[in-house]
Structure formats: C-alpha cells, structure tokens
Amino acid sequence: MARVTHGAVDRDRTVTEVSGAASERSARRADAVRNRASILEAAKQLVTEQGTEVAMGEIARAAGVAVGTLYRHFPNKADLLAAVVSEYVEALADDAQGAWERVEAGRSDVDQELLGFLERALEMIARSHAAKSVAQALGAEVEYAEPESRATEALGRLVEAGRASGRLRRDLTVSDLYILMVFYPGDGSVEVRRRWLELIRPGLLGRASSDSQRV
C-alpha cells in the first residue's frame, strides 16, 4: 500500500514538474514576442525621427530591453530595418482590407475610403523608404509578397466599386495608385506633401463624387 502511495506521489511530482516546465517555456515565448514587438515599435519611431543612422543601443534603450536581447532577435541592423519595412507593408495591407470592408458593409463611400487610404499609405511609404533602401544596401532581403498581394486585392475591389458607382474615374487602375506611391515626394516638407495630395486628388475622382462635393 505504501509503495502505491509513493508511486502516486512520484507521478504527481512528475506531472507538476512537467507542467511547471511547460508554463516556464510558455512565459519565455510570451516575453520573446513582447520584446520583439517593443523593439520593432521603438525602431519605427526612432528611424522616423532620426533616420537609419540611429544606433542599435539607442533602439534597445527605447524598447526597454538589453542590447543582447535586441541582437538575439535581430543579429544586425539590416535585419532589423528589413523587419521594420515588413511591418509597414503589413500595416498597409490591413489598412486596405479595412477600407474595403467598410465600403462593402455600406458604412463609408468608396472615394473617401480610397483617398484616406492613399494619404495614410503615402506617409507610411515616406517613413519606410529610407529603412528599405539601407536594409537592401546592407544585403538584407525585404520580403513582403504576401501582404502586398492582400493590399493589391483589396485596392482592386475598391477601384472596381468606385468605377462602377461613378465615384472614381472610369479608367483608374491599381497600377495608377502604385505609380502615385512611387513618385510621392516623401522627402519634401509637410506643406509640399499636402499640396501634392491636393493636386492629384481631383484626378482620381469620378463625376458622381465631384457632383456630390459641389452640392
């Protein structure tokens, strides 16, 4: 009887130890995810404010992690900047999908959603352009095929709906939007960027949108 009792105690101890080890591993994974997110958020902010020359140590301090922790996630600045660019592209894809979902649900007009997305996207592209250039120059591969595909699909639906409703010009294409993004004066002042958007805005709209704005 005593042997059975000891066996049960041993089994309970083993289960407890295994459970504790699993909980510890889970906590470490959660910490790693939080640290990575904090590093990327700090990197995005500091790259925007100071440019790509910002030191890795400064990014670590802003993220609230040790420098060694930063390097465990991103062995060099090229990898970190590539991840920053990927984060921007993911955000653009989510933004485009959200715009289409609001239009599809009838909660917003397609022209306003497209113009709003374009304005946000252009500012985000301006912030990420330098990071992308430096990452590629340092030999990092910036991969964003999947989110770019999601964004293109959502924008295609927006453009199609806008053309059908007359709120966007009938010959507008997604390629046209990408042309605008490529030639956006992201290095210009806030006033220059705002004026550029004001000038291109009428060229995107259809007659129905223009008529409604005049009323």
> Tell me, what's the pLDDT at 146?
85
State how far Cα 103 lies from the chain centre.
21
Parse the chain into domains and list their residue ranges.
1-75, 77-215
Residue 6 has pLDDT above 60, yes or no: no
70 contacts 56 by C-beta, under 8 angstroms: yes
- What's the average model confidence in pLDDT over 188-203? 89
Q: What dotted CATH number matches 1-75?
A: 1.10.357.10
> Tell me, what's the pLDDT at 142?
66
DSSP string, 162-192: HHHHTSB-TT--HHHHHHHHHT--TTS-HHH
Q: Is 182 left (phi over 0), alpha (psi -120 to 50) or beta?
A: alpha
> Tell me, what's the pLDDT at 212?
57
State how far Cα 6 lies from the chain centre.
56
End-to-end CA distance of the chain: 92
**Looking up tokens 């640290």, which residue turns up?**
35
pLDDT (tens digit per residue) in 79-131: 898 888 888 888 889 999 999 999 999 999 999 999 999 988 888 877 776 66
Global confidence as pTM: 0.72
* Average pLDDT of the residues of the chain: 82
Q: How confident is the model at residue 1 (pLDDT cuts 50, 70, 90)?
A: very low
Residue 68 has pLDDT above 90, yes or no: yes
Q: What dotted CATH number matches 77-215?
A: 1.10.357.10
